[in-house]
Amino acid sequence: MAQWRTTSAYLLNLLKILFLTHSFNSLTQRLFVELARCGHELSIELDINDAVTQQAAELFQPDLIIAPFLKRAIPETIWRSHVCLIVHPGITGDRGPSALDWAIMHDCHEWGVTVLQANAEMDGGDIWASEVFPMRFARKSSLYRHEVVEAATHAVLTAVMRFQSGTFKPVPLDYSRPDVQGRLHAPIRQIDRSIDWQQDSTLTVLRKIHAADGFPGVLDTLFDEPYYLFDACMEEHLTGKPGTIIAKRNNAICRATTDGAVWMGHLKHRSPAGLTFKLASTLALKDHLIKVPEIPSDPFSTESGNTYRDIWFERKNDVGYLHFAFYNGAMDTAQCERLREAYLQATRSDIRVIVLIGGPDFWCNGIHLNHIEHAASPADESWRNINAMNDLAHAIITTDRQLTIAALQGNAGAGGVFLSLAADYIFARASVILNPHYKSMGNLYGSEYWTYLLPRRASASHVTSLTRNRLPIGAQEARNIGLIDDYFALNPADFRRKIALIAETIAINPDFPALLQKKAQQRRSDEQQKPLQSYRDEELRHMQLNFYGFDPSYHVARYHFVHKIPHGWTPRYLARHHSR
């Protein structure tokens, strides 16, 4: 073991843990936050090639290697010399790729996560821990971000404690045991996923698209061109000839099935060169949709029934809940503008509290990088998008008739985190991960009035470390440094209940007028010290250089992000073993 290990780390039996992962995705980030909270020393190596993995293990000399999200096998030299724990998104005994995809396709009522030790047999190693959860009828990406992340966090923390104990013997996989229900399965193919629009029911279509959501999508044909389908939801009222596109609304198109219809929010064109990426369906099919009727939906409508809507408002007593469930948390110019309009309409009503509740999977991840990449001038579209975002943030900051709450049910990143700081109170679900920084996107400076909003809440040293370190933080850490007011509840339903209680309590507080007055006074005094417009102008001067200046870093980073170009090397702020 390396000599530099501190005495207290020895005494507490803290470990040096190397993460070996395809990308620093939401699960990896959550495990990183949880294990760092326990005091373990962590370093990350992206799975680039065997030589890089080998070098990382030599430099870091880890006690344990964890692979939260891998697409390749761990090299034999590594698993023979280190205990390597693989996080497999399947129940005990399940082996092979596309585990969650199959579980959704087979309509399993229960699924799970298994932490097993890497050996020569893919997913066949000894078992260190496992967890099960009830399945929801939901998109794979949503199940992954909620149930799988939660179960994996439990299982990994258990496995690490068992490893620390030094006495635990992992259990060999034994298919003769009645509790081992999983089986080896083949990789799922597009032919397994294909939709027969003349035969499949709405539920079957939804299940197929859900099972492929996030990646890779269901390959289908639209206007004689191949597209991958994503982001589906049910339509309860519209019907038409099965397979035809019968309506459009904002970003989505509605396609008739044999017994109803489904909306599809996102498409990815399949091109031989492979240089395509997900776009809003109405953008991807723009020229073909001229004759398709636009069926608008009023965010304030109280009509019930399943349909597609990305912004909607609910009122209960004196509290208004503004939902904005944008796919992947990305907000394009039009979405920012629509959300601002809905927000302003809410402020004109007689409600006392506005809860900005985001979507169930994400609160917000900032400007829409895919739509920017697709634009004729990405620089111009970046400029429009950030200004629309700023207009929204401005509307929230200057609200003087209501108190506002940002309620983060899901994760937030970059401008999305700073947008949440525009509210008067910020609460997050306990397992939420925040990425309060812009720098990883090609040294983007960022706007959303962050230079005003962040120092209002965090100390100067925290401002510096948050923006420079580019690391994710958990809700607990965010609360500890004052970035958010509090965090609670793992379960989304419990979170929403508690938020409703807080909002109602604020709304009926006899001191409500005084609280509102205090807020207005603070705003006036802040404005006198430095007008909001000055913050905005300063930030946008930097952004102008990012978008239009000589340094193309932002455009290069966005291109890599949108096209999912694999990393050629692990960023040094993650691969800490290089700084030793």
> Under 8 Å CB-to-CB from 487, ≥6 apart: which residues?
427, 428, 429, 430, 432, 475, 476, 478, 479
CB 371, min distance to ligand COA, A:
8
Interactions with ligand COA, residue window 199-258 (CB under 6 A): 214-215
**Residue 25 in contact with ligand COA, rule: CB under 6 A:** yes
- Give dist(CA 66, CA 84) in Å, integer: 6
CB 103, min distance to ligand COA, A:
19
Interactions with ligand COA, residue window 260-279 (CB under 6 A): 278
CB 230, min distance to ligand COA, A:
7
Q: For the residues of 114-175, what is the DSSP string, one character each?
A: EEEE--SSTT-S-EEEEEEEE--SS-HHHHIIIIIHHHHHHHHHHHHHHHHHS---PBPP-T
Contacts with ligand COA: how many residues (CB under 6 A)?
A: 22
Taking CB under 6 A as the binding criterion, the range among 41-49, 109-117, 434-442, 485-493 that sits at the site for ligand COA is 434-442
In sequence order, what are the beta bridge partners of 225?
A: 222
By C-beta, is 117 or 250 nearer to ligand COA?
A: 250
By C-beta, is 130 or 142 nearer to ligand COA?
A: 142
CB 199, min distance to ligand COA, A:
28
**Residue 320 in contact with ligand COA, rule: CB under 6 A:** no
**Residue 112 in contact with ligand COA, rule: CB under 6 A:** no
By C-beta, is 31 or 105 nearer to ligand COA?
A: 31
Among 397, 441, 473, 574, which residue sits at the site for ligand COA (rule: CB under 6 A)? 441
**Residue 438 in contact with ligand COA, rule: CB under 6 A:** yes
- Give dist(CA 192, CA 106) in Å, integer: 11
Among 182, 242, 299, 413, which residue sits at the site for ligand COA (rule: CB under 6 A)? 413
Contact 97, 135 (CB under 8 A): no
Interactions with ligand COA, residue window 352-371 (CB under 6 A): 365-370
**Residue 419 in contact with ligand COA, rule: CB under 6 A:** no
**Residue 307 in contact with ligand COA, rule: CB under 6 A:** no
CA distances from 561 to 45, 314, 481 (A): 18, 35, 29
Interactions with ligand COA, residue window 29-48 (CB under 6 A): none
In 221-287, which ranges are continuous DSSP H helix?
Answer: 281-284
CB 148, min distance to ligand COA, A:
12
**Residue 474 in contact with ligand COA, rule: CB under 6 A:** no
**Contact letters for ligand COA, residues 484-523 (x by CB under 6 A):** ----------------------------------------
AA letter at 193: R
- Give dist(CA 309, CA 265) in Å, integer: 10
What's the sign of the alpha-carbon dihedral 176, 177, 179, 180? negative
CB 370, min distance to ligand COA, A:
5
By C-beta, is 79 or 450 nearer to ligand COA?
A: 450
Burial class (CB in 10 A: 0-12, 13-18, 19+), 385: buried
**Residue 355 CB neighbour total at 10 angstroms:** 28
- From edge to edge, which strands make up the β-sheet containing 411-413? 362-364, 411-413, 433-435, 473-474
Contact 42, 35 (CB under 8 A): yes
230: closest CA among 258, 198, 256, 262? 262
43: closest CA among 22, 27, 64? 64
Among 92, 411, 431, 546, which residue sits at the site for ligand COA (rule: CB under 6 A)? 411
- Give dist(CA 216, CA 101) in Å, integer: 10
By C-beta, is 127 or 389 nearer to ligand COA?
A: 389
By C-beta, is 323 or 558 nearer to ligand COA?
A: 558
**Residue 431 in contact with ligand COA, rule: CB under 6 A:** no
245: closest CA among 273, 275, 211, 282? 282
551: closest CA among 379, 403, 400, 361? 379
CB 342, min distance to ligand COA, A:
20
By C-beta, is 10 or 548 nearer to ligand COA?
A: 548
Report the interface residues with ligand COA, using CB under 6 A.
25-26, 214-215, 278, 328-330, 365-370, 411, 413-415, 435, 438, 441, 444
